[in-house]
């Protein structure tokens, strides 16, 4: 349930305010050079502390606990762990009775019969995406020379992101955003018809990122309003290069050798500084709730590197799968 992948498999664990956040990677090929410094750049991109993001800033120092020897992966499970140090847990008890709107407080309790660790969102917290980013660093080494680049192209409905963020901070509110991701040099023929289509696998992992509410590939939603004669991409080379890329680099669920392109929508952070009306489960009455704590005004600012990691993880798995089927 907390695992993803067939050959390059990631297992996610940990809690926001528990001891650690971790990721266990199975199926990583042996002999990949790997050192803790390799993780720094991507981990830094995910960190809070910048304008519009949370003031909780964890050191995010990766500890390689297993599967690593003489500076290389060994082929045994690679365990990557991050300790939690900047927690302030005292105030979460109240959310058991007065669930925060838009959060998983109530659903988590319903699923786990009230036994879930609710501090800081527990196992549901975006804190755990630190592990995804770390797995992405490893996956990128497997898929070379594929390059993946995601960026926030819009926030709060505006193209001027900085302005939108400043406005939201001022209003003690939060905003969402649109992220676009492109992967270049993806070989053709990755993916499977039907259940393991490239769209299926990528969307599966992208929707694991807290806050994502929509995804579209290539022309995406706009496709629905196009004619076939407009939408079809003209092939212009034997390798399958196309003149346009309405398909987003995918035909029949398989990569077609053109850039893989998709966009996703991130909702605004649920926890906002403003008082909000919510429901008291004990009294059965509505009441105002003021959420203290440190939250992202625009969580979407921190998500592009997580999106890149997700794509790298999917492509690493598909590339290993393709190698197994070479004839």
Q: Three-class SS of residue 315?
A: helix
229 contributes a contact to a copy of itself by CB under 8 A: yes
15 contributes a contact to a copy of itself by CB under 8 A: yes
For the record, the structure tokens of 132 come out as: 């995804």
- Kind plus residue range of the DSSP H or E element containing 198: helix 198-206
Name residues contacting a copy of itself, limited to 111-150 (CB under 8 A). 111-113, 115-117, 121-124, 128
Name residues contacting a copy of itself, limited to 243-272 (CB under 8 A). 246-248, 251-257, 265-272
95 contributes a contact to a copy of itself by CB under 8 A: no
Nearest of 125, 165, 139 to residue 21 by alpha carbon: 125
Residue 195 CB, nearest distance to a copy of itself (Å)?
A: 4
Residue 143 phi/psi, 5° resolution? -95, 5
Interacting residues of 254 by C-beta distance below 8 A, sequence separation 6+: 188, 189, 190, 191, 192, 193, 197, 198
Residue 49 CB, nearest distance to a copy of itself (Å)?
A: 20
Residue 178 CB, nearest distance to a copy of itself (Å)?
A: 5
| CA separation for the pair 72, 111 (Å, rounded) | 40
Interface residue with a copy of itself, options 144, 145, 170, 228 (CB under 8 A): 228
Interface residue with a copy of itself, options 45, 102, 169, 259 (CB under 8 A): 102
What are the b/e assignments for 226-257, b being 16+ CB within 10 Å?
eeeeebebeeeeeebebeebbbbbbbebbbbb
Residue 300 CB, nearest distance to a copy of itself (Å)?
A: 8
| Binding range to a copy of itself, per CB under 8 A, among 22-30, 40-48, 49-57, 301-309 | 22-30
DSSP assignments along 73-139, one per residue = E-SS-EEEEEE------GGGGGGGTSPPTTSSHHHHHHHTTT-S--GGGGGGSGGGHHHHHHHHHHH
Report CA-CA distances (Å) from 284 to 278, 287, 291: 10, 10, 20
Name residues contacting a copy of itself, limited to 180-219 (CB under 8 A). 188-197, 199-201, 203-205, 207-208, 210, 212-219
| Binding range to a copy of itself, per CB under 8 A, among 4-12, 37-45, 48-56, 301-309 | 4-12
Nearest of 261, 239, 44 to residue 149 by alpha carbon: 261
321 contributes a contact to a copy of itself by CB under 8 A: yes
Q: Three-class SS of residue 66?
A: strand
Residue 208 CB, nearest distance to a copy of itself (Å)?
A: 5
| Binding range to a copy of itself, per CB under 8 A, among 35-43, 88-96, 133-141, 236-244 | 236-244
Residue 120 CB, nearest distance to a copy of itself (Å)?
A: 12
Q: What angle do CA 253, 326, 27 make, to 5 degrees?
A: 80
Interface residue with a copy of itself, options 38, 75, 147, 169 (CB under 8 A): 75
Total residue count of the chain as it appears in this document: 327
Interface residue with a copy of itself, options 156, 181, 303, 309 (CB under 8 A): 156
104 contributes a contact to a copy of itself by CB under 8 A: yes
Count of residues in contact with a copy of itself, rule CB under 8 A: 149
232 contributes a contact to a copy of itself by CB under 8 A: yes
Residue 253 CB, nearest distance to a copy of itself (Å)?
A: 7
């Amino acid at each position: 349930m907390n695992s993803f992948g067939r050959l390059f498999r990631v297992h996610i664990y940990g809690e926001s305010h528990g001891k650690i956040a971790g990721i266990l990677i199975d199926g990583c090929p042996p002999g990949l050079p790997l050192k803790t410094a390799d993780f720094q750049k991507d981990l830094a991109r995910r960190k809070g502390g910048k304008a519009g993001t949370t003031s909780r800033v964890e050191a995010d120092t990766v500890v390689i606990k297993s599967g690593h020897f003489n500076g290389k992966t060994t082929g045994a499970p690679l365990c990557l762990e991050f300790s939690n140090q900047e927690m302030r847990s005292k105030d979460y008890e109240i959310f058991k009775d007065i669930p925060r709107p838009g959060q998983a407080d109530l659903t988590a309790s319903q699923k786990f019969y009230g036994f879930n660790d609710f501090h800081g969102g527990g196992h549901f917290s975006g804190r755990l995406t630190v592990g995804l980013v770390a797995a992405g660093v490893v996956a990128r080494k497997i898929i070379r020379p594929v390059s993946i680049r995601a960026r926030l192209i819009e926030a709060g409905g505006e193209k001027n992101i900085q302005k939108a963020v400043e406005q939201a901070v001022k209003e003690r509110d939060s905003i969402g955003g649109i992220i676009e991701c492109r992967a270049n040099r993806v070989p053709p023929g990755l993916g499977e018809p039907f259940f393991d289509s490239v769209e299926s696998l990528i969307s599966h992992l992208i929707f694991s990122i807290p806050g994502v509410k929509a995804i579209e590939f290539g022309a995406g939603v706009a496709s629905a309003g196009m004619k076939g004669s407009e939408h079809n991409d003209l092939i212009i080379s034997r390798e399958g290069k196309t003149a346009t890329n309405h398909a987003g680099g995918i035909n029949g669920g398989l990569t077609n050798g053109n850039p893989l392109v998709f966009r996703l929508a991130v909702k605004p952070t649920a926890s906002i500084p403003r008082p909000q009306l919510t429901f008291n489960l004990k009294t059965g009455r509505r009441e105002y709730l003021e959420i203290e704590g440190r939250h992202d005004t625009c969580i979407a600012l921190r998500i592009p590197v997580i999106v890149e990691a997700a794509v790298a993880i999917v492509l690493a798995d598909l590339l290993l799968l393709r190698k197994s089927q070479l004839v």
